[in-house]
Amino acid sequence: MVNKLRICVVTGTRADYGLLYWLMKGIEKEPDLELKIVASGMHLSPQHGSTYRTIEHDGFVIEDKIEMLLSSDSSVGVGKSMGLGVIGAAEMFDRLKPDIVVLLGDRFEALSVAAAALVARVPVAHIAGGDTTEGAFDEAIRHSITKMSHIHFVTNEEAGRRVRQMGEDPINVHIVGSPGIDQIRQLNFLTKTEVERQLSFKFYERNLLITHHPATLGCDSSVREFQRVLDGLSRLGSKVGLIFTLPNDDPEGCELANMIKEYSHRHKNACVHASLGQLLYLSTMAYTDVVVGNSSSGLYEAPSFKKPTVNIGNRQKGRLQAKSVINCSANPEAIYQAIMCAFGLDCREVVNPYGDGYTSERIMDVLLSVDDPSALLHKHFHMLPTEVHQ
């Protein structure tokens, strides 16, 4: 390859940065590739911990930043943020002129970048398309990004079938697993004492790691739903440790964050952190007994730790699940009973359906095989073979 392929990786949250970390490291070390990192969304928000500093602390150079978040987390505020994201991404593409942009997941920040990439004629490599999460508008965002993408790195065979069903070229659909498992395979986790020191929290005999985001397509208010979650947690009493991380900046996210802070202030067995970072978050997961809430980490990462997950409500409905996942409604008694069941669940033989921890290497192999990125721009709708009905 005469000229280095310029790979732009856009990260908008603490969560997707952790998933992209080892891929970014691989691109950075590869002599035939040039890494361009762009930070956007929650990374640039003081309210969410200004986590772009974590990227810099890890030794990466941030080439560009896309300011897009407003102080409002209403539907109008999020919609305006998406518009600002498209403007900022268009300016970024004009400055950096990447050959390929890498996006992960289903956040509105990624949708804004994908829309700008479409008109800037920059091919999109999308990670984790094809999943389904019926309880959030992330579902529609994820599928929309798929149709604007050119290379698809899916986490499992079911997701791959859905992407192909949307008319995408099977040649460009690659089953690679979840990059979150790469972290678990490669990180040197903190000791229990180090985790307690960094959390400023002494572990109880039993402990929960709790992350609950707004269910953006729910019929009920996310605030009312989350109050029922807190009521369910309260039924456990004061002898179970509760470690909260704050929700995303989706509609009603600020209200949920305030509820968590108030609850933690009133309960000595609870602590709250805006952002733990991947090392501390996964190390905490390793020492807790159950992962609780509606975050994808309970489905993606927790099974690799042989930890049970209590998945609340419909936000993750339809996503592939390991046998360690217990689903329950957002009802205080149902949540209490599910957690008590999880305490006794034997997960030693659980197999994580999201891969083996070598996702980043598989993605790198595909990126290095691209000779002419511009050739990816001309897509054809690929019809699936007609089924024969008897």
CATH at 99 = 3.40.50.2000
Decide if 389 is inside a domain: no
DSSP 8-state assignment for residue 386: P
Average pLDDT, the chain: 92
Query: Residue 205 and residue 171: Cα distance in Å, rounded?
Result: 51
Q: What is the pLDDT of residue 249?
A: 74
Task: Compute the radius of gyration of the chain from its Cα atoms.
Answer: 21
> Does 21 score more than 60 pLDDT?
yes
2 pLDDT band, cuts 50/70/90, is low
Boundaries of domain holding 338 = 189-343
Tens digits of per-residue pLDDT, 333-374? Answer: 999 999 999 999 999 999 999 999 999 999 999 999 999 999
Question: Is 32 in the same domain as 147?
Answer: yes
pTM, rounded to two decimals = 0.84
Do residue 275 and residue 322 come from a single domain?
A: yes
Residue 168 lies in a domain: yes
- What pLDDT is attached to residue 134? 77
Round to whole Å and give the CA distance between 382 and 70: 40
- In this prediction, residue 388 has a pLDDT band, given cuts at 50, 70 and 90, of very low
* pLDDT (tens digit per residue) in 278-314: 899 999 999 999 999 999 899 999 999 999 999 999 8
Does residue 274 fall inside a structural domain?
yes
Give the 3-state secondary structure of residue 153: strand
One domain, residues 102 and 130: yes
Domain check: are 195 and 171 in the same one? no
- If one counts the domains in the chain, the total is 2
Between 47 and 183, residue with greater pLDDT: 183
- The reply to whether 142 and 49 lie within a common domain is yes
Same domain for 332 and 211: yes
Output the pLDDT for position 390.
45
Structure confidence at residue 389 as a pLDDT band (50, 70, 90): very low
The answer to whether residue 183 sits within a structural domain is: no
**Cα distances (angstroms) measured from residue 80 to each of 20, 42, 72, 376:** 26, 15, 10, 31
* Domain assignment present for 384: no
Closest CA to 254 of 74, 17, 13: 74
- Residues with Cβ < 8 Å from 75, sequence gap 6 or more? 251
Residues 162 and 203 in one domain: no
pLDDT at 192 over 60: yes
The verdict on residue 222 lying in a domain is: yes
Q: What is the mean pLDDT of residues 148-170?
A: 96
- Rounded average pLDDT over 63-82: 86
| Same domain for 239 and 167 | no
Are 151 and 88 in the same domain?
A: yes
Same domain, 37 and 83: yes
Cite the DSSP H helix spans in the chain: 14-29, 52-57, 75-96, 108-120, 138-147, 157-165, 180-186, 192-199, 222-234, 253-266, 277-287, 297-300, 332-343, 359-368
The pLDDT assigned to 1 comes to: 43
**202-227 pLDDT per residue, tens:** 999 999 999 999 887 766 788 999 99
31 and 156 housed in the same domain? yes
Do 275 and 238 fall into the same domain?
yes
pLDDT above 90 coverage of the chain, percent: 76
Structure tokens at 106: 């289903």
